[in-house]
Amino acid sequence: ALLGSYTWAKSLDDSSTFFSSSGDPNFPQDSLNVAAEKGRSNFDLRQRLSVSYSYDLPVGRGRRLLANRGWVSGALGGWSAQEIITLQSGRPYTVALHPDIDRSNTGRSNLGFGFNDRPNRVARGEAADPTPEEWFDTSAFVFPEFGSFGNSGRNILEGPGFADVSFSITKDANLRESLRLQFRTEFFNTFNHPNFDLPDIFMGSPTFGRILSAQSPRRIQFGLKLLF
């Protein structure tokens, strides 16, 4: 069986979640200018492709090939392969001032609310050749004048995309009429493709603009399952 889906979407709002990790708490930077909060939703993944298949090898008992060859049919039969391929564009994120920096003079940083203050944006901000060492152009952002709010928008930049190929092989062995043993070998992120997390979004941080973490590398696991 072969299944596939492609999603192309766009979602805009002025607040997505409460105290999210992308600098978008459930309140505006400037309460008198809520319109400035309109931007891409935190969950706005513009494109996503998913393809999966399952294939039963045509060998062994009940299959087209070597159906009645004794132990050979038992050893070579009952094998299946499954694969899931996922490709998607990156999540948006907001460049913000470090929580300890209160340029707006609102006092929110003392309450732990400073991370929704934003800098001034003087250029587009996308890096010509983004790398984990500098995912976006940090020189495109400057501190606003003291007592003012920055003009940089919400969720204006996009993080790394995601690509994953996961593969599994299973073998079913019939022990009795209602008893079956299944052996599984599963490969997650089969090709060990690096899927980076969002960069450090906080201006004033020594690692501003850098990506410091990634999602899981390749994992292989084995399993036995008794089905009855």
In the chain, the number of structural domains is 1
Structure tokens at 107: 């006092």
Matching residue, tokens 């694969």: 83
Beta strands in 65-218 (DSSP E): 79-88, 92-93, 96-97, 120-121, 126-131, 134-136, 141-142, 157-158, 162-176, 179-188, 202-203
Distance between CA 64 and CA 213 in Å, rounded? 49
pLDDT tens track for 168-192: 999 988 888 789 899 999 999 999 9
Burial of 212 (0-12, 13-18, 19+ CB in 10 A): exposed
pLDDT for 19 equals 47
Q: Phi, psi at residue 103, to the nearest 5°?
A: -75, -25
pTM: 0.83
The DSSP code for 144 is P
3-state DSSP assignment of residue 110 = helix
Distance between CA 21 and CA 144 in Å, rounded? 23
Angle (CA) 24-141-19 rounded to 5° is 10
57-75: string of b/e by CB count within 10 Å (b at 16+)?
bebbeebeebeeeeeebee
pLDDT tens track for 121-142: 999 999 999 999 999 999 999 9
Which residues are registered as beta bridge partners of 183? 171, 224
Distance between CA 179 and CA 172 in Å, rounded? 10
Domain range for 12:
2-227
pLDDT tens track for 46-104: 999 999 999 988 877 767 776 666 666 667 778 899 999 999 999 999 999 998 888 88
3-state DSSP assignment of residue 33 = coil
Query: CA dihedral in degrees (153, 154, 155, 157; nearest 10)?
Result: 20
Comparing 66 with 215, which gets the higher pLDDT?
215
Matching residue, tokens 């979407």: 9
pLDDT tens track for 11-43: 999 888 644 545 545 678 888 999 999 999 999
